[in-house]
Structure 1
Amino acid sequence: MKETELWARLQHHLGAGYYRVWAAEQSLPDVGGRTVVQALEAGVSSKDVWRAAWTALELPARER
Structure 2
Amino acid sequence: MRMTYFRELMETEFGGVRAASIARDHVLSQLGGRTVEQALAAGFDAKDVWIAVCDAYDVPPARR
Normalized against structure 2, the TM-score is what? Answer: 0.92
Q: Give the Cα separation in 2 of the matches to 1:27 and 1:19.
A: 13
Q: Partner of 1:33 in structure 2? A: 33
Q: Give the Cα separation in 1 of the matches to 2:44 and 2:7.
A: 14
Q: Which runs of 5+ in 2 are unaligned?
A: none
Q: Deviations over 1:24-54 (max 9, x none)?
A: 0001111111111000000000010001011
Identity %: 36
Q: Partner of 1:48 in structure 2? A: 48
Q: Give the Cα separation in 2 of the matches to 1:18 and 1:12.
A: 10
Q: CA RMSD in A?
A: 0.8
Deviation at 1:4, TM superposition (A): 0.9
Q: Partner of 1:7 in structure 2? A: 7
Q: Give the Cα separation in 2 of the matches to 1:63 and 1:33.
A: 24
Normalized against structure 1, the TM-score is what? Answer: 0.92
